[in-house]
Amino acid sequence: KAGVTQTPRYLIKTRGQQVTLSCSPISGHRSVSWYQQTPGQGLQFLFEYFSETQRNKGNFPGRFSGRQFSNSRSEMNVSTLELGDSALYLCASSLNSLDTQYFGPGTRLTVL
Amino acid sequence: DQQVKQNSPSLSVQEGRISILNCDYTNSMFDYFLWYKKYPAEGPTFLISISSIKDKNEDGRFTVFLNKSAKHLSLHIVPSQPGDSAVYFCAARGGGGATNKLIFGTGTLLAVQP
């Protein structure tokens, strides 16, 4: 069974732009969560989706948003990019809402 | 407020010996704990987990111990192999409400010397 896939793997943007990252969960998994990893803050929770509904949101500004589609695929969007948004963005999927999360390889976002 | 702490940034162990990675937490509402292994520029790989109702879980070379009274868990790797060299994160789930949100520690870099 294929693992979690994330596209693109690498992205370079400039301040003020917006970006959309995509995540395809493991087949059959219905829950998707997003995390941000930075050297200073470590791994921090962004959002959690289950059956197209956002169940939980981390402590991030409103510039960070996400959604989940009926096929469980998920996207996250960051608007008005700032230098501090440079990070590895990780998506994780789980079979149901309280099962073990399996991570994708991440999208490395660099904001110049 | 760091609810999950890994106080050792790094650990060096000889091949074949035991590696012990430690993790402390502050929130008694956490109901599930996990260990992940991570290489640079890759996503974390799930290793092993333990429910708060247990005190030990074993899977091959990996054993996780949970001491709820001390709010402490540890991951034992026996025997350690050079391929185990990576950053290890402990994570906790729960803290109130039906959520799969994970709170991660800061990680411990394990180096297994041949």
pLDDT in tens, B61-80: 999 999 999 999 999 999 99
* Tokens of residue A77, six digits: 């969007």
Residue B110 CA to its chain's centroid (Å) = 12
Q: Which helix (H) or strand (E) covers residue A88, if one does?
A: strand A87-94
Record: contact A56-B97, CB cut-off 8 A: yes
Q: Which helix (H) or strand (E) covers residue A10, if one does?
A: strand A10-13
Confidence of residue A40 (pLDDT cuts 50, 70, 90): confident
- Return all residues near A24 (Cβ < 8 A) that are at least 6 apart: A4, A5, A6, A73
Cα distance between residue B11 and residue B21, in whole Å: 8
Peptide bond into B44 cis (omega under 30): no
Comparison of pLDDT for B27 and A2, the residue scoring more? B27
Record: contact A55-B89, CB cut-off 8 A: no
Q: What angle do CA B21, B24, B29 make, to 5 degrees?
A: 135
Q: Tell me the percentage of chain B whose pLDDT exceeds 70.
A: 96
pLDDT of residue B42: 86
Nearest of B111, B97, B99, B102 to residue B34 by alpha carbon: B102
Q: Taking the alpha carbons of A44, A91, A89, A19 in that order, is the dihedral positive or negative?
A: negative
Residues in chain B whose Cβ is within 8 Å of chain A: 32, 34, 36, 41-46, 49, 89, 91, 93, 97-107
Question: Average pLDDT, whole number, for chain A?
Answer: 95
Cα atoms in the 13 Å half-sphere on the side-chain side of A12: 1
pLDDT of residue A85: 97
Record: contact B104-A43, CB cut-off 8 A: yes
Identify all chain B residues contacting A56, using CB atoms and an 8 Å cutoff. 97, 99-101
What mean pLDDT comes out for the span B20-49? 94
